[in-house]
């Protein structure tokens, strides 16, 4: 990092703020004001389980994506509910410093976050534990025109908002408006593409296209997996995206009726970026991007995740600690609550294996920009100055 001071436009900070700040904040901090239902408590990097073990691979590009979105906002723009993530001006210097990182020097990346961000533990005030699921970018086959194999349309968003249910749309409510722009082989693929919100399409005749979320029909989301468990169709212990998909494919006579019980319908657009785009408008990073509830968590914020692996991975056993730095860069219809996250695993069947099996308890810590965190403290500038 360069420079000898931290300037936010109103006050100048001591150069040695980084090493001592987490300790000072832990000892003399008024927690940031949080949305109802969220409890935010001062923490220190020594409290983050596994902090010293993360390789931080992929973190810097993911953070810079957050920075791109925040850079477009005015200095006084509030980041997150109740300005929990500070204002956009608080991100200017951390983001500038991040551009100087190579992203491959683990010690440098770790030191960067310890210098520019301050950890706070985030909890549900009701005492409920956190829940972490996974999602992925589907890979499917499609054609640009219908034929005997490709008969199930993917729709663009209508110019005017619609409230037709899934069943009504599947029955032809939007037919004849020229909204169909891709045709799939499998209605189950179309359904799961809507659940995930983005995908890579392998085009018949060669080439591929990336598609992403373009809108919805305004209907409430219903998780058919919960319905299938409640009705004894699938077992709770074995329930996953894969088991739901397998049942739908094995029961074509009942599949559409079951899918129609989720009335929410998603429209798509072609995406030109080199990866799926999240709610922040930036490309998601596999293994580093997280979907959150923006009613509680500021989009763009670094989060230290403490959960477990959903399946075995090489020498890593199922249930082993999964602890890493993530970026809150997306949202999801079913992602609701103070400590609720959806882990982006990447693209294809391997990513599906992880995402489909993930429904794990855990907790997280929010990393707030240092100036935003300091404004929540009691005389922190004078205390830090005395530590020189």
Residue 20 has pLDDT above 70, yes or no: no
Task: Judge whether 147 lies within some domain.
Answer: yes
CB atoms within 10 A of CB 231: 9
Instruction: Read off the pLDDT band of 122 (50, 70, 90).
Output: very high
- Look up the domain containing 252 and give its range: 140-271
Instruction: Please check whether residue 247 lies inside any domain of the structure.
Output: yes
Cα distance between residue 39 and residue 124, in whole Å: 6
Residue with tokens 């989009």: 299
User: If phi over 0 gives left and psi between -120 and 50 gives alpha, with beta otherwise, what is residue 215?
Assistant: left
pLDDT reading at 28 higher than 70: no
Length of the chain: 388
Say if 336 falls within a structural domain.
Answer: no
Average pLDDT over residues 171-190: 95
Q: In terms of Cα–Cα distance, which of 36, 30, 31, 47 is closest to 293?
A: 36
pLDDT digit string (tens) for 127-165?
999 999 999 988 999 999 999 999 999 999 999 999 999
Strands (E), 218-330: 266-271, 289-291, 302-308, 321-330
The answer as to whether 173 is a domain residue is: yes
pLDDT of 3 reads: 37
Rounded Cα distance between 276 and 345, Å, is: 11
Give the pLDDT of residue 24. Answer: 41
pLDDT interval class at 34 (50, 70, 90): confident
pTM assigned to the model:
0.79
For residue 325, being part of any structural domain is answered with: no
59's enclosing H/E stretch is: helix 59-71
Residue 259 domain-assigned? yes
Distance CA 383, CA 378 (A): 9
Q: How many domains does the chain have?
A: 1
Does residue 362 fall inside a structural domain?
no
User: Which tokens belong to 31?
Assistant: 């927690």
In-domain check, residue 180: yes
What is the structure's pLDDT at 102?
81
Q: What is the mean pLDDT of the segment spanning 53-72?
A: 97
Are 24 and 383 in contact, with CB atoms under 8 Å apart?
Answer: yes
CATH number at residue 257: 2.40.240.50
Q: Which of 253-257, 271-275, 289-293, 317-321 is the least confident region?
A: 271-275
């Amino acid at each position: 990092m360069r420079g000898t001071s931290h300037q936010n436009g109103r006050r100048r900070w001591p150069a040695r703020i980084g090493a001592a700040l987490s300790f000072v904040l832990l000892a003399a901090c008024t927690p940031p004001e949080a949305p109802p239902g969220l409890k935010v408590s001062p923490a220190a990097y020594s409290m983050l389980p596994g902090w010293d073990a993360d390789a931080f691979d992929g973190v810097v590009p993911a953070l810079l994506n957050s920075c791109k979105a925040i850079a477009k906002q005015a200095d006084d723009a509030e980041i997150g509910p109740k300005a929990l993530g500070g204002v956009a001006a608080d991100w200017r210097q951390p983001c500038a410093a991040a551009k100087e990182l190579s992203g491959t020097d683990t010690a440098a990346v770790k030191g960067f976050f310890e210098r520019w961000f301050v950890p706070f533990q985030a909890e549900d005030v009701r005492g409920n534990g956190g829940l972490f699921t996974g999602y992925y970018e589907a890979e499917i086959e499609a054609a640009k025109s219908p034929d005997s194999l490709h008969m199930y349309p993917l729709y663009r968003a209508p110019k005017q908002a619609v409230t037709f249910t899934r069943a009504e749309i599947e029955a032809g409510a939007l037919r004849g408006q020229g909204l169909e722009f891709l045709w799939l082989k499998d209605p189950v693929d179309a359904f799961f593409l809507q659940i995930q919100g983005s995908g890579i399409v392998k085009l018949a005749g060669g080439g591929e296209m990336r598609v992403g979320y373009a809108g919805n029909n305004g209907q409430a989301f219903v998780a058919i997996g919960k319905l299938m468990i409640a009705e004894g169709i699938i077992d709770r212990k074995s329930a996953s995206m894969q088991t739901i998909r397998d049942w739908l494919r094995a029961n074509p006579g009942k599949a559409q009726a079951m899918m129609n019980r989720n009335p929410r319908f998603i429209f798509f657009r072609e995406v030109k970026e080199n990866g799926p785009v999240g709610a922040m408008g930036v490309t998601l990073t596999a293994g580093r991007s997280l979907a959150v509830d923006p009613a509680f968590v500021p989009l763009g914020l670094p989060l230290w995740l403490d959960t477990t692996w959903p399946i075995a991975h090489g020498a890593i056993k199922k249930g082993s600690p999964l602890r890493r730095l993530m970026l809150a860069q997306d949202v999801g219809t079913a992602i609701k609550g103070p400590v609720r996250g959806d882990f982006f695993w990447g693209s294809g069947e391997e990513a599906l294996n992880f995402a489909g099996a993930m429904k794990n308890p855990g907790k997280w810590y929010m990393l707030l920009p240092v100036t935003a965190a300091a404004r929540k403290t009691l005389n922190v500038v004078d205390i830090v100055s005395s530590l020189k």
